[in-house]
Amino acid sequence: MRHYSEGSAASNGLVSCTECACLSPNELTRCPRCHAKLTSRQAYSLQLTLALLTTALLLFIPANLLPMMVTEKLGQVEYNTILGGIILLWKEGSHPIAVVVFVASVIVPILKFIILYYLCFCSLNPGAISAKTRTNLYRLTELIGRWSMVDIFVVAVLVALIQLDHLLNVQPGNGTIAFAGVVILTMFSAKAFDPRILWDKPLTRDENTRARN
Amino acid sequence: MGKLQHIACEHCDLLLDAPQLQEGESAHCPRCGHKISRLRKQLMPQLLAYSITGLILLFLSGSFSLMTINLGGNISEITLWQSALNLYFDQYKALSLVVFVLIVVVPAVVVSLVLFFIMMIKFDARPKMLSNVLRLIFGLLPWAMAEVFLVGVLVSLVKLVTISQMELGWSFWAYGLFCLCYAKVLSLLDRYQLWSWLTHGVRYAPL
């Protein structure tokens, strides 16, 4: 339960369809225009976001510890994790590419975790940051989330391309599955989060107990 | 149903008067700054042109080689399909399908559906299922990762260029151009405009 923000459609007894943006009175359960389900705020938005986010955070551990790529060079087998691959790129002198991969597969997921956890926390305890900034942070996570997939695509291309038997051979590692899971789950988690609750006021503890009784 | 009188901001739920936009104008939420709607000039012909071009380019990028590696006389070459589907034979079936869906299927489906939608509106045929088409288009948007794949190809190119001779094939350039068309389609898609075409028909469409 929460206090809908001032001037919002919800506080005026209206509900906006998330699919077609058509406004309807909030007694309706389905949008008259596109027949999508109508809810003023996505049901269990916080719970769903947190559940998906925490699953992704747990998967982030094997994603970084397990190898992404197994390279066989003249009989020598080499296992590369995400960070290992980036360090290798840096040592070989391709600094700009190393930075691109570092940002896409290390900074972006961590930033997403921090922002989404912070936003969930904020929607219960309005923080020091204004609602507008928080909404901008949310938009940022939606914008950058997809770019973490770069590393998976690199592995896919390298595995497909380099099949030169014993001379040079590349196989995917188990880390790829964990990492793809992290990216996909965080994207679902950002989708499950309803930014409109950032503008509402949560109930105080007294109001909460009164609502429960 | 009449034209929308009021709307609510998608991101902060602020109740607003529906903006009456002229071509070339855009409307932003006064409270959270969300871009609510943007009416481009010549929206319908542009969408038509870019989605047809995009489909042709995507078809072309499937027909040639993506990149070739030459390592001391050992030559290996891949196509766009192989770059995703070769993982399938390395016991990574699910991952291979995910990659294939993200880089080929979703972008192709989105562009085809946009084309289909515009054609239906142009011929003023608005069957009931067209609203599902529109919902599907907007639902799929975050899952098209064509441009991310392009960066992935470039990164793998740089990884290999020190140890071997690399060559980019026609498919790479076709796919790159497809990404440009796709980005253009994406920037043109406007939720309010497309839904108003669907409810009011082509009379309100600037063409």
Q: Measure the CA–CA gap between A87 and A91, rounded to whole angstroms.
A: 6
Please give the residue of chain B at the shortest CA–CA distance from A23. B7
User: What number of C-beta contacts closer than 8 Å exist between A and B?
Assistant: 191
Per-residue pLDDT tens over the stretch B19-56 = 888 888 889 999 888 988 888 888 889 999 999 999 99
The tens digit of pLDDT for each residue in A27-38 reads 888 888 888 888
Residue B195 to residue B131: CA distance in whole angstroms: 8
Higher pLDDT, A175 or B84: A175
Distance between A181 CA and the closest CA of chain B, angstroms: 10
Percentage of residues in chain B having pLDDT higher than 90: 38
The rounded mean pLDDT for chain B is 87
Least confident of A167-176, B84-93, B101-110: B84-93
Helix (H, G, I), strand (E, B) or coil at A98: helix
Q: Between residues A121 and B1, which one has the greater pLDDT?
A: A121
The pLDDT, as a whole number, for residue A1 is: 57
Q: Does B125 touch chain A (CB under 8 A)?
A: no
CATH topology (fold) of A44-212: Butyryl-CoA Dehydrogenase, subunit A; domain 3 (1.20.140)
Q: ipTM more than 0.85?
A: yes
Return the closest-CA partner of residue B24 out of B35, B39, B34: B39
Q: Least CA distance to A194: which residue of chain B? A: B11
Burial A131-148 (b: 16+ CB within 10 A, else e): bbebbbbbbebeebbbbb
3-state helix, strand, coil in chain A (%, to 5): 60, 15, 25
What is the Cα–Cα distance from B19 to B26, expressed in whole angstroms?
9
Q: Do A8 and B162 touch (CB under 8 A)?
A: no
Instruction: Report the chain A residue with the minimal C-alpha distance to residue B85.
Output: A160
DSSP of A116-170, one letter per residue?
Answer: HHHHHHHHHS--SS-HHHHHHHHHHHHHHGGGGGHHHHHHHHHHHH-EETTTEEE
The residue ranking higher by pLDDT, B155 or A211, is B155
- pTM recorded for the entire structure: 0.89
Instruction: Kindly indicate the confidence band of residue B113, based on its pLDDT and cuts at 50, 70 and 90.
Output: very high
Residue B133 has φ and ψ, to the nearest 5°, of -60, -45
Can you say how many angstroms the Cα of residue B36 is from the centroid of all Cα atoms in its chain?
20
Architecture of domain B40-204: Up-down Bundle (1.20)
Give the mean model confidence (pLDDT) for residues A102-114: 94
Do A135 and B32 make contact, defined as CB atoms within 8 angstroms? yes
- Token readout for A115 is 């922002």
Three-class secondary structure of residue A174 per DSSP: coil
The strand pair at A168-172 and A201-202 is best described as unpaired
Question: Residue A162 phi/psi, 5° resolution?
Answer: -95, 85
Helices (H) and strands (E) in chain A, counts: 8, 8
What is residue B65's three-state secondary structure? Answer: strand
All residues of chain B having their beta carbon less than 8 Å from the beta carbon of residue A161 are 67, 69, 76, 78, 83, 156, 160
Q: If you average pLDDT over every residue of chain A, what do you get?
A: 87
Contacts of residue B159, Cβ cutoff 8 Å, sequence gap at least 6: A89, A94, A97, A154, A158
Look up residue A195 and give its two tokens.
Answer: 């930014």
- Sequence ranges of the domains in chain B: 1-39, 40-204
pLDDT above 70 as % of chain A: 98
The CA distance from B118 to B112, in Å, is 10
For residue range A148-185, list pLDDT tens digits in order.
999 999 999 988 888 776 778 888 889 999 999 999 99
H-assigned helices in chain B: 43-61, 80-85, 93-100, 106-122, 130-140, 146-161, 170-188, 191-200
- Say yes or no: B153 contacts chain A, CB-CB below 8 A: yes
pLDDT the model gives residue B2? 46
- Residues forming CATH 1.20.140 domain(s) in chain A: 44-212
pLDDT tens-digit readout, B119-140: 998 888 888 888 899 999 999 9
